[in-house]
Structure 1
Amino acid sequence: MKFNRFLSFAALAALALTGCSKDSDSASANSSKLEVRLTDAPGDFRSVTLDVRQVEVHLKDEAQADGWQFLSFTPQMVDILNYVNGKSALLVSTDFAPGDIKEIRLILGPNSTVTGNDGFVYDLKTPSGQSSGVKLKLDKVTLRPNETFQLLLDFDVAKSIKERGNWDKNKKKEERYILKPVIRLISQEIAGVLFGQVTPAAALPQILAIRSSLTPADTFSTFADASGAFRLQGLPSGTYRVEFYPTTTAPAGQPAYRSMTLTGKTVTNNQATDLQVTRLD
């Protein structure tokens, strides 16, 4: 038989996507979510820009060098003085296999700078001994399925930036400061929940919870089950926009299913927020 030869490209693509979706949904259902954020204790400078190149976590005992795992991260310049008084920069937000994490390592590049109160931009040199990165030990951190775990790196500017003892103000100003990062690690399980019901249940919508109080926004997703119930777990605290997208069409003669958006929904750690019933017809 030769009918396979005539199977359309679109159909093949649909089959492939269906398979990928099932695998992805299965993996997502069993995964944790890991966030790494950076905040700052203020210092007496106009700005402090860190050249953040890489973020890694260690999954085994410290003596095992092969235990390091890269996290999904785009190298970036972060002016940490923008993240004080409860604000924080989101470095990593990724699905992660449940289990223990022993250490986290922050790799900084050579282009970090500090702008002094004199308005001059100084290079921040990192000692060669710290070229392997800033390592921070974790105490009994276990990522559990369907929960979010947050690692907050509290960078102390005042203690981290030192003036060179032999610096000559009549020579290169760029060599005035040296960077010896002092970072306090705060770790916490995040267990906020959004739940509710959609009707008609036959719409089988995908549901996105978008943390609009964060820039850039962070997105979590799930699907309603056959009864129309849904539950999003492991959500960090914040204000969310919740979007509903039907994945089926209404039977002939019935009102069409439509997308819906709920705004201003608040999530609090260790509490469940009931969104009640959302109509999609």
Structure 2
Amino acid sequence: MKLNRFLSFVALAALTLTGCSKDNDSDAGTKLEVRLTDAPGDFRAVSLDVRQIEVHLKDEQVADGWQTLNFTPQFVNILDYVNGKSALLVSTDFAPGDIKEIRLILGPNSTVTGTDGFVYDLKTPSGQTSGVKLKLDKVTLREGETFQLLLDFDVAKSIVERGKWNASKKKEERYLLKPVIRLVAQEIAGGLSGTVTPAATLPQILAIRTSLIPADTFSTAADASGAYRLLGIPSGVYRVEYFPTTTAPTNQPAYHGAVRTGIVVTNNQETRIDPVKLD
């Protein structure tokens, strides 16, 4: 059916905007997000070779308390994520409970591009072996909640020149990476809700946070009464798209999609959208 093919294409295109994010169904239960942002430094680019992200669920002394998060190894130019932008590294369903620490495992291929345009290697022994560990104060994920761990990377403090380095030595060996990261942990408690008519359209609903680059996409579906609700989504400005998943009965007006723009979601509040007609 043409409509279903169109829906699949649009959903795929919207999700592509999320970078390493996956489609998020906010009604699925407890979720954990890990994001990376940056306090800028005097460089053209800083490419981090991020290999693995883990969280510790037990007391620090318990070695087997680490859990590996669902993350695809990748290079992240953190200078792309300043002035309120952030890279979404992980968005995953997660069991309720306490988190004690987070650990960022870096590979050996991080680089920094200086103002001279030269690409320098960045080495960080601790990041390549045991990882960059960040302790958390009391953080408890509760049922039905979305929790965000924001890693605020300070470039100016994290990239340091090697001792006794001078221009006569190899340029690639000029800098060391000694990550200085501020960890911000917060509950994400925004939401939006509304109704669609006719309820028989049974629409898929995408909420795309356009105030963030790359955009986040969250999804849900209306129930048999036409009501829908997305909870635990971040604050920001959204575009909400509606796609019917059924066809209209014979001799009735055809169902069609709809879009609502400029929908503002505020943390700890639920935004109500005016009823949407799909016929």
How far apart, CA to CA, are the structure 2 residues paired with 1:99 and 1:129?
27
Q: Report what 2:244 is aligned to.
A: 246
Q: Report what 2:13 is aligned to.
A: none
Post-superposition offset of 1:259? 2.2
How far apart, CA to CA, are the structure 2 residues paired with 1:255 and 1:62?
62
Partner secondary structure for residue 37 of structure 2: strand
Q: Report what 2:12 is aligned to.
A: none
Post-superposition offset of 1:184? 0.5
Distance 1:41-1:270 versus aligned 2 partners, 3 A rule: same
RMSD: 2.1
Mapping of 1:193-204 within 5 angstroms?
193-204=191-202
Give unmatched runs, 5+ long, in structure 1. Answer: 1-24
Q: Report what 1:32 is aligned to.
A: 30
Amino acid of the structure 2 residue aligned with 1:110: P
- Structure 1 position 205 matched with structure 2 position 203: yes
Partner secondary structure for residue 242 of structure 1: strand
Post-superposition offset of 1:30? 4.8
How far apart, CA to CA, are the structure 1 residues paired with 2:61 and 2:207?
40
Q: Decide which moves more: 65-74 or 181-190.
A: 65-74
How far apart, CA to CA, are the structure 1 residues paired with 2:175 and 2:60?
31
Q: Decide which moves more: 116-125 or 243-252.
A: 243-252
Post-superposition offset of 1:263? 2.1
Post-superposition offset of 1:195? 0.6
Amino acid of the structure 2 residue aligned with 1:33: K
Residue 191 of structure 1, aligned match among 189, 192, 195: 189
Residue 218 of structure 2, aligned match among 220, 231, 243: 220
Q: Report what 1:92 is aligned to.
A: 90
Partner secondary structure for residue 158 of structure 1: helix
- Structure 1 position 179 matched with structure 2 position 177: yes
Post-superposition offset of 1:147? 2.5
Residue 105 of structure 1, aligned match among 86, 103, 106: 103
How far apart, CA to CA, are the structure 2 residues paired with 1:77 and 1:30?
29
Q: Report what 1:262 is aligned to.
A: 260
Amino acid of the structure 1 residue aligned with 2:263: K
Per the normalisation by structure 2, the TM-score is: 0.84
Mapping of 1:1-281 within 5 angstroms?
29-127=27-125, 131-281=129-279
Post-superposition offset of 1:109? 0.9
**Deviations 1:107-154, CA, capped at 9 Å, x for gaps:** 111111122233322111112575211011111222223332111101
**Which protein is bigger by CA-based radius of gyration?**
1
Paired-residue identity, %: 78
Give unmatched runs, 5+ long, in structure 2. Answer: 1-24
Post-superposition offset of 1:217? 2.7
Structure 1 ranges of 4+ moved more than 6 A: none
Structure scoring higher RCO (CA < 8 A, sep ≥ 6) equals 2
**Deviations 1:19-76, CA, capped at 9 Å, x for gaps:** xxxxxx8xx7452222211111222222222111111112222222222222222222
* Contact 2:126 2:132 survives alignment (8 Å): no
Distance 1:128-1:181 versus aligned 2 partners, 3 A rule: closer
Partner secondary structure for residue 275 of structure 2: strand
**Deviations 1:172-208, CA, capped at 9 Å, x for gaps:** 1111111111111001111111111111122222222
* Contact 2:37 2:78 survives alignment (8 Å): yes
How far apart, CA to CA, are the structure 1 residues paired with 2:78 and 2:28?
34
Amino acid of the structure 2 residue aligned with 1:249: T
Amino acid of the structure 2 residue aligned with 1:32: T
Distance 1:128-1:96 versus aligned 2 partners, 3 A rule: closer
Aligned residues: 256
How far apart, CA to CA, are the structure 2 residues paired with 1:194 and 1:82?
29
Per the normalisation by structure 1, the TM-score is: 0.83
